[in-house]
Structure 1
Amino acid sequence: MTLLNDPRTRRRRMGVVAACTGLLAALLTAVPAAATPDPGDAPAAEQGISRSAQAEAAEAIASGEIPGQDEIVHSDNIEHLVNIPKDALPGTNSDLAFQGKYAFAGNYDGFRIFDISKPKAPKTVAQVLCPGSQNDISVSGDLLFLSTDSSRSDSSCNSTTQPATEKSSWEGMKVFDISDKRNPKYVAAVETACGSHTHTLVPERKNVYVYVSSYSPSATYPDCQPPHDGISVIKVPRKAPERAAVVSFPVLFPGEGPDGGGNPGSPTNPGVSKTTGCHDITVLPDKDLAAGACMGDGILFSIKDPENPKVIDQVQDNVNFAFWHSATFNQKADKVVFTDELGGGGAATCNAEIGPDRGADGIYDIVGKGDKRKLVFRSYFKIPRHQADTENCVAHNGSLIPVKGKDLMVQAWYQGGVSVWDFTNSSKPKEIAYFERGPISTTTLVGGGAWSAYYYNGYIYSNDIAKGFDVLKLSDRRTDPAKRIRLDELNVQTQPDYFD
């Protein structure tokens, strides 16, 4: 392998020269994009950068320190099989889900279904136009779930944007019947407080529970009032999805006063997001356990009673974590990887100026038993390749690569690309493979890159915000045993027991 010898994998010096003053000031205060009426996790608006930063990017490309504009580079143990560009849905690509031979790709304009029975040649089965950021997506049996976290004129797929200050505005969860993959049918809509930024399925035989994560309330929003310190729980009967309804709103951060009991954020904790809900939740149904990434807090909670989850432990990192974004358990459920989405996904944070501990993953061991379990911090992980100041880059969505006795993960880093890394030793994580493209622009900060990168039945699938759907093949003795694991369905935030 040339992974460690490739000059592009060494610590790049990009970002030492300051970009535009306003951008760096925003990064240093680490305030993420607001969730309502237009949520975070959105591509960066185009922003000019200083001439010195432009010159530095050009010099780094010329020297081979970073790949050229749109140039694809990768470690020797990864092969790029195919890219499927965006088609009828030109919006931002978002999350992914899988079922059998199908991949389901979210997009701010709707969703796309691919037949991936031949990973080298995916075929589009259907494209559904149904605008509403960010269209976070999951599937269970014949049902597909789609999150809407932008204020709409109504719940239909023909709705238009409308201010969150208007009582008639709608945000929440949409449900589709996908028994016919070529002709999905919209069957239900459930409005939820503050919309649905992301969601997580807790499936049962007769019903599917949906944990709805949303945040950033305002006294001016009739349907999103503070304190918003919990999650909406929706119950969806499989045989009658039209009866889907909110059955509870468990408060995860109880406390006195209008702001509840989560992280108060700035100015008490400068540069840290105030907790007003959760961004994303990952569940282990087989172990009745869940981990929540909730803006200024990370939590561990029991879901033995799915309608009334109970918090076991709550942690904060007021030094290096700006925005707790997502969570991933290891297979033994004795570790959790939390991600910090510094800059809300729209900033250049993979540079020397920001450093290795911010906009990174935080690895926590779970110690103790039962309701006395605690989250104990061990280390940070960040990709070891600095990016240009024109590239939005930060820790984002990833999944386990199922190898018994090892803790391996593939993860998206926006324009930082796709990283495969090993956290078997919680205190010494290391990257073992990567795939990335060069900057979309060398003169302007433009949003793009891998939103999600997940391992499913022997391949890595990535949904690139701007470039489309990528399929990668990973060939490495450390990860090859995972090829024997076959799943009928995968929603990464509903983690399976791979070795059951």
Structure 2
Amino acid sequence: MSSPRRVLAMAGAAVALLLTALPATASDIPPPDAVVTSPNVTHVRNVPKPDAIASSINTDIAFQGDYAYVGNYGGFSIYDIRNPKKARVVSSVVCPGGQMDVSVYGDLLFAAVDSSRSDDSCASTDRSAAEKDAWEGVRIFDISNKARPKYIKAVETACGSHTLTLVPGKGRDRHKNVYVYVSSYLPAANFPDCQPPHDKISIIKVPLRHPQAAHVAATPVVFPDGGNEDQPGLLIPTTGCHDITAYAEKDIAAGACMGDGVLFDISDRLDPKVTARTTDPNFAFWHSATFTNNARKVVFTDELGGGGAATCNEATGPNRGADAIYDISNGQFAFKSYFKISRHQDDSENCVAHNGSLIPVKGRDIMVQAWYMGGLSVWDFTDSANPREIGFFERGPRSDGGGGGIWSAYYYNGYIYAADFHEGFDVIKIDDRLTNSAKHVRTDRLNVQTQESYRNGWWH
């Protein structure tokens, strides 16, 4: 989702325009707050947000062993998912600073902060980015004790950290360091620590034995030519990246960079090189990326309207605010098709392509994906030119008329887990001949922005 601090004013006109779209047919819209699913999908459990952070919205999810880590604008929570049918909160950390997207590595949890704070502590308050002593960047916690996570380090980065991506070291370095690719954007001349043009990312080097020594080790420029800045219809011109997905074992990464889609060579962890780049006149905001298991395709999402608009309706159409599927041929992008949910939403429902992950099915390309108030969709894009939905879960419009929905929806060890803005943590299961083989694939970790291959019944 785009940072409220800088984006809402710029996106306001576009959102207002989109919200005037024609309503969907009333008979197609579920009753307010009602849960509806396709016949092959079951809602297993809902765990409400912990009281300490109930007033702020849930964001991204990471997994390790029997635990799920759910980010929240007010901090993060750890859930015991040993028995998904009895998923429960183990602990909750109050540490405000949007978005608090999270990733985990060993005993460390990394949280992205793209909201200017008075300092780097969990007791900080809002502060204008125009003030030199304001802080934003990455927080690091020790999660060895799940009941009592410990805040151990903060690293300030230029323009903050809207999202972050963990990239393990290579060879012997893998056991010594992990690298954090920090995506941030929207500089301004009056922001001392976020100066234009900011066409770069920040890379934090974290010594695993001494995480307190984490520091910004490189700030490579991604767009020396300034990127895509003048395409009509862009939500925001390119000024950095929104999100990066790394496939470290293949030494590649895909960047969703506002106005551009990018392929990186990350064989040198501190010096990623752009090897391919594409734009799309249909896209408003390149938001996130997902490789297929064989890395021969990549799916980019378009966050039309900044996540605050009703774009899943007849007036917006099937291609705008959609996913774009690209084959990777000879190291370059080859566009194949768009995919968007066909279930029209009410005009009170913000709906747009958002965070998702692969479902590990051998020989097929299937993923589950969040669509905010469009719920979540399970879809098959094995045929790149003809993707199709095979299952869904959603809630009807909120009875209070407000927005919300599912921020992230990921598949992990037989179940789908979803972080809903307001409703908390959902556990969902799909029973379908196309996906059932995935239940035999197991892993002990999942950071979706750090893809790992799956084979022989185990993620590697």
TM-score bracket for this pair, using the shorter chain length: over 0.9
Q: Does 1:167 align with 2:132?
A: yes
Name the structure 1 match of 2:440.
484
**Aligned counterpart for 1:115 among listed residues 80, 105, 113:** 80
Q: Does 1:276 align with 2:239?
A: yes
Q: Does 1:206 align with 2:179?
A: no
C-alpha change, 1:49 and 1:314, in structure 2 (3 Å) is: closer
Name the structure 1 match of 2:53.
89
Name the structure 1 match of 2:288.
326
C-alpha distance in 2 between matches for 1:160 and 1:151: 8
C-alpha distance in 2 between matches for 1:437 and 1:35: 24
C-alpha distance in 1 between matches for 2:16 and 2:59: 22
CA contact (8 A) 1:35 1:215 kept: no
Q: Does 1:131 align with 2:101?
A: no
Cα distance, 1:103 vs. partner?
A: 0.2
Cα distance, 1:39 vs. partner?
A: 7.9
Cα distance, 1:48 vs. partner?
A: 13
C-alpha distance in 2 between matches for 1:171 and 1:422: 38
**What is the one-letter code of the residue matched to 1:246?**
V
C-alpha change, 1:48 and 1:85, in structure 2 (3 Å) is: farther
C-alpha distance in 2 between matches for 1:333 and 1:36: 35
C-alpha distance in 2 between matches for 1:447 and 1:167: 34
**What is the one-letter code of the residue matched to 1:460?**
I
**What is the one-letter code of the residue matched to 1:337?**
V
Q: Does 1:429 align with 2:368?
A: no
Q: Does 1:296 align with 2:259?
A: yes
Query: Over residues 97-131 of structure 1, what are the superposed CA-to-partner deviations in whole Å (9 max), with x where a residue is unaligned?
Result: 00000000000000000000010111111100000
Name the structure 1 match of 2:119.
154
Cα distance, 1:35 vs. partner?
A: 6.0
Match of 1:403, SS state, is coil
Name the structure 2 match of 1:254.
224
Q: Does 1:414 align with 2:372?
A: yes
Match of 1:481, SS state, is helix
Give 1:349-364 correspondences, 5 Å limit. Answer: 349-364=311-326
Name the structure 1 match of 2:195.
225
C-alpha distance in 1 between matches for 2:224 and 2:407: 32
Structure 1 unpaired stretches of 5+: 1-31
Match of 1:120, SS state, is helix
C-alpha change, 1:235 and 1:50, in structure 2 (3 Å) is: closer
Cα distance, 1:37 vs. partner?
A: 4.8
**Aligned counterpart for 1:241 among listed residues 211, 215, 221:** 211
Name the structure 2 match of 1:313.
276
C-alpha distance in 2 between matches for 1:48 and 1:340: 17
C-alpha distance in 1 between matches for 2:410 and 2:345: 22
Cα distance, 1:85 vs. partner?
A: 1.0
Cα distance, 1:441 vs. partner?
A: 3.8
C-alpha change, 1:298 and 1:290, in structure 2 (3 Å) is: same
**What is the one-letter code of the residue matched to 2:454?**
Y
Q: Which moved more, 1:199-208 or 1:213-222?
A: 199-208
Cα distance, 1:231 vs. partner?
A: 0.4
Name the structure 2 match of 1:263.
228
TM-score, normalised on structure 2?
A: 0.93
Cα distance, 1:34 vs. partner?
A: 5.5
CA contact (8 A) 2:234 2:259 kept: no
C-alpha change, 1:375 and 1:162, in structure 2 (3 Å) is: same
Name the structure 1 match of 2:171.
none
Name the structure 2 match of 1:179.
144
C-alpha distance in 2 between matches for 1:468 and 1:437: 13
Name the structure 2 match of 1:17.
none
CA contact (8 A) 2:368 2:379 kept: yes
Match of 2:271, SS state, is coil
Name the structure 2 match of 1:348.
310
CA contact (8 A) 2:235 2:304 kept: no
Cα distance, 1:269 vs. partner?
A: 2.6
Cα distance, 1:273 vs. partner?
A: 2.8
CA contact (8 A) 1:37 1:163 kept: no
**What is the one-letter code of the residue matched to 2:248?**
P
Q: Does 1:195 align with 2:160?
A: yes
Structure 2 unpaired stretches of 5+: 169-173
**What is the one-letter code of the residue matched to 1:478?**
L
Give 1:377-388 correspondences, 5 Å limit. Answer: 377-388=335-346
C-alpha distance in 2 between matches for 1:218 and 1:379: 36
**What is the one-letter code of the residue matched to 1:453?**
A
Query: Over residues 41-73 of structure 1, what are the superposed CA-to-partner deviations in whole Å (9 max), with x where a residue is unaligned?
Result: x99xx99999997xx67x71xx3x211001111
Q: Does 1:142 align with 2:107?
A: yes
**Aligned counterpart for 1:390 among listed residues 333, 348, 351:** 348
C-alpha change, 1:51 and 1:140, in structure 2 (3 Å) is: closer
% identical aligned pairs: 61
C-alpha distance in 2 between matches for 1:99 and 1:167: 37
Deviating 4+ runs (over 6 angstroms): 46-53
**What is the one-letter code of the residue matched to 1:399?**
S
When the two chains are superposed, the root-mean-square deviation of aligned CA atoms in Å is: 2.1
Name the structure 1 match of 2:397.
439
Match of 2:305, SS state, is helix
Query: Over residues 170-217 of structure 1, what are the superposed CA-to-partner deviations in whole Å (9 max), with x where a residue is unaligned?
Result: 000000001111110000000000000000000222111000000000
